[in-house]
């Protein structure tokens, strides 16, 4: 997802009690005015005019300002190599290995941002970022053709430079899920995940084969259940949550640690899934990008993970069923040198143990 500043630029956090904004203490207007009572001399005005130019020159010298609002003007940010992650198909947990890109190896490049195709009852929703209107039309038409429907709910965003999923690949995968009831197909920058329910092992294998053929070399996770009983559904709870969070990424209120309204909606959905699986144990893990200090990133990620945990518990998940941890800038899923990569790394994941 391209960085657009509408929710993903919230890594800055502040505390009025401690008087901290980003990395520096910000004096109040009253404090500043008390310090300076005398009329400024001419040299002072000259310095005042020169400082912005000096700061601009310094900014250019170090490659421009930080994309992370936590970093205050004149404060440099450190970026670290990304690691690529693969999803555990049985539990939805993840493991990481050193890499410089979040894309799968070989011929398995999927998309530069998360996408999801979901069906709940009659509505079919398509969510993705694509580069242009022609690509958007092709993607929507591929889903309609695969399912034999005339309309879908369009959540596709056109953003210059976005690398969206192949319409042909999505169409083939959705076609394999056509008879899987309420299904989900998603890419969360770690793996391509499918969920739903089918009648036989052969039908589930057909989904696995379709995913592998559509995205050769990519990590795939087949969370399709055989049958509709609760035990079968709970076995694939991790993948169901992955699809939900690929469709609606958890973001937070500006300058805060509480999930925003759209995130609360998807968390209520996740809570409803988890409440039906009392034996499942969930872990909410918060992450940041690499801007700012390790200590600050760790605190911010912990606060946000705990805020998500609170929403889940308040919506029916047993308190002992869900844990919250913060890992700061660890385990990036994209490069911290691009705006879209930074936005992707600022995330909360919910895994099933």
Average pLDDT of 201-206? 96
pLDDT on residue 83: 38
Residue 161 to residue 345: CA distance in whole angstroms: 18
The yes-or-no verdict on residue 214 having pLDDT over 60 is yes
Give the pLDDT score at 25: 37
Range of weakest confidence among 5-19, 46-60, 223-237 = 5-19
When pLDDT is cut at 50, 70 and 90, the band that residue 346 belongs to is very high
Closest CA relative to residue 352, chosen from 305, 268, 283: 283
pLDDT at 307: 98
- Tens-place pLDDT, residues 242-274: 999 999 999 999 888 999 999 999 999 999 999
Closest by CA position to 332, among listed 85, 67, 8: 85
In this predicted structure, what is the pLDDT of residue 20?
38
Model pLDDT, residue 231: 83
Same domain flag for 83 and 138: no
Q: Answer yes or no: do 111 and 237 share one domain.
A: yes
State the pairing for strand pair 124-130/322-326.
unpaired
Q: What is the mean pLDDT of the chain?
A: 78
Query: Which of 230, 247, 264 is the last residue in one of the domains?
Result: 247
Q: Are residues 243 and 115 in the same domain?
A: yes
Whether residues 254 and 211 share a domain: the answer is no
Question: Where is pLDDT greater, at 53 or 241?
Answer: 241
Q: Is the pLDDT of residue 9 over 90?
A: no
Count of domains for the chain: 2
Count CA atoms within 13 Å of residue 231 on its CB side. Answer: 0
Q: Does 115 share its domain with 236?
A: yes
What CATH number has the domain bearing residue 294? 3.30.1330.60
Mean pLDDT confidence for 193-217:
96
Residue-level pLDDT at 270: 98
d(CA 85, CA 82): 10
The pLDDT of residue 310 is above 70:
yes
Same domain, yes or no, for 43 and 19?
yes
Q: Across the strands, what pairs with 325? A: 285
In eight-state DSSP terms, residue 332 is -
CATH of the domain at 111: 3.40.1520.20
Range of the domain at 255: 1-88+249-353
The owner of tokens 């690499």 is 290
pLDDT of residue 49: 53
Separation of alpha carbons 36 and 353, rounded Å: 59
Which tokens belong to 190? 């770690």
Last residue of a domain, one of 229, 247, 265: 247
Give Cα separations from 24 to 77, 256, 304 (angstroms): 14, 17, 21
pLDDT at position 68 is: 43
Tens digit of each residue's pLDDT (9 = 90 or more) over 50-101: 555 454 444 433 333 333 444 433 333 344 443 333 333 333 333 333 333 3
260 within 8 A of 253, measured Cβ to Cβ: yes
Cβ–Cβ under 8 Å, residues 323 and 352: no
Bigger pLDDT: 71 or 290? 290
137 pLDDT exceeds 60?
yes
At 122, is the pLDDT very low, low, confident or very high (cuts 50, 70, 90)?
confident
Same domain, 127 and 82: no
305 and 231, same domain (yes or no): no
Furthest-apart CA atoms within the chain: distance in Å: 84
- CA-to-CA distance for 353 and 336, rounded, in angstroms? 28
Angstrom distance (rounded) from CA 169 to CA 133 = 18
In which band, very low, low, confident or very high, does the pLDDT at 36 lie, cut at 50, 70 and 90?
A: very low
Q: 346 to each of 225, 252, 290, 301, 341, how far by Cα in Å?
A: 31, 10, 9, 9, 9
According to DSSP, the β-strands at 220-226 and 153-158 are: unpaired
Residue 285 has pLDDT above 80, yes or no: yes
pLDDT value at residue 108: 54
* Number of CB atoms found within 10 A of residue 197's CB: 20
Each residue of 144-162: b (16+ CB within 10 Å) or e?
bebbeeeebeeebbebeeb
Distance, in Å, from the CA atom of 269 to the CA atom of 251, rounded to the nearest integer, reads 15
**Does position 37 have pLDDT exceeding 60, yes or no?**
no
Region of poorest pLDDT, from 15-19, 225-229, 270-274: 15-19
Q: Residue 1: inside a domain, yes or no?
A: yes
Residue 100 lies in a domain: no
Q: What is the rounded average pLDDT of the residues 322-333?
A: 96
* Cβ atoms of residues 269 and 312 within 8 Å: no
Kindly indicate the confidence band of residue 47, based on its pLDDT and cuts at 50, 70 and 90.
low
Indicate the pLDDT class of residue 41, thresholds 50, 70 and 90: low
Q: According to the model, what pLDDT value does residue 292 have?
A: 86
pLDDT, one tens digit per residue, over 161-174 is: 999 999 999 999 99
Residue 224: strand, helix, or coil: strand
Find the helix packing angle between 261-275 and 294-314, rounded to 10°. Answer: 60
Whether residue 112 is found in the same domain as residue 53: no
């Amino acid at each position: 997802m391209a960085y657009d500043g509408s929710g993903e630029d919230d890594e800055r956090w502040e505390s009025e009690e401690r008087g901290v904004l980003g990395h520096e203490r910000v004096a109040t207007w009253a404090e500043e005015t008390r310090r300076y009572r005398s009329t400024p001399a001419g040299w002072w005005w000259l310095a005042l005019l020169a400082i912005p130019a000096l700061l601009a020159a310094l900014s250019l010298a170090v490659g421009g300002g930080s994309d992370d609002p936590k970093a205050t003007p004149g404060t440099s940010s450190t970026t670290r190599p990304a690691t690529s992650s693969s999803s555990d198909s049985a539990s939805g947990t993840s493991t990481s290995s050193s890499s410089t890109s979040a894309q799968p190896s070989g011929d398995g490049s999927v998309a530069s941002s998360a996408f999801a195709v979901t069906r709940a009852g009659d509505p079919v929703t398509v969510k993705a970022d694509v580069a242009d209107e022609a690509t958007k039309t092709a993607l929507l038409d591929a889903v309609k053709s695969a399912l034999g429907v005339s309309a879908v709910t369009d959540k596709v965003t056109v953003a210059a430079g976005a690398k969206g999923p192949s319409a042909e690949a999505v169409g083939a995968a959705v076609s394999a899920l056509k008879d899987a009831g309420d299904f989900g197909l998603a890419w969360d920058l770690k793996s391509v995940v499918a969920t739903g329910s089918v009648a036989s092992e052969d039908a589930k294998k057909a989904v696995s084969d379709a995913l592998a053929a559509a995205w050769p070399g990519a990590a795939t996770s087949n969370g399709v259940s055989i049958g509709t009983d609760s035990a079968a559904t709970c076995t694939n709870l991790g993948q169901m949550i992955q699809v939900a969070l690929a469709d609606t990424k958890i973001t937070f209120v500006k300058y805060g640690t509480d999930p925003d309204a759209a995130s609360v909606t998807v968390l209520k959905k996740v809570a409803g899934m988890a409440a039906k699986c009392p034996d499942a144990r969930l872990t909410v893990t918060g992450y940041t990008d690499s801007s700012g200090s390790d200590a600050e990133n760790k605190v911010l990620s912990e606060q946000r993970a705990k805020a998500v945990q609170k929403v889940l518990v308040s919506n029916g998940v047993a308190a002992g069923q869900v844990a919250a941890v913060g890992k700061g800038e660890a385990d990036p899923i994209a490069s911290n040198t691009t705006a879209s990569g930074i936005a992707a790394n600022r995330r909360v994941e919910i895994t099933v143990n």
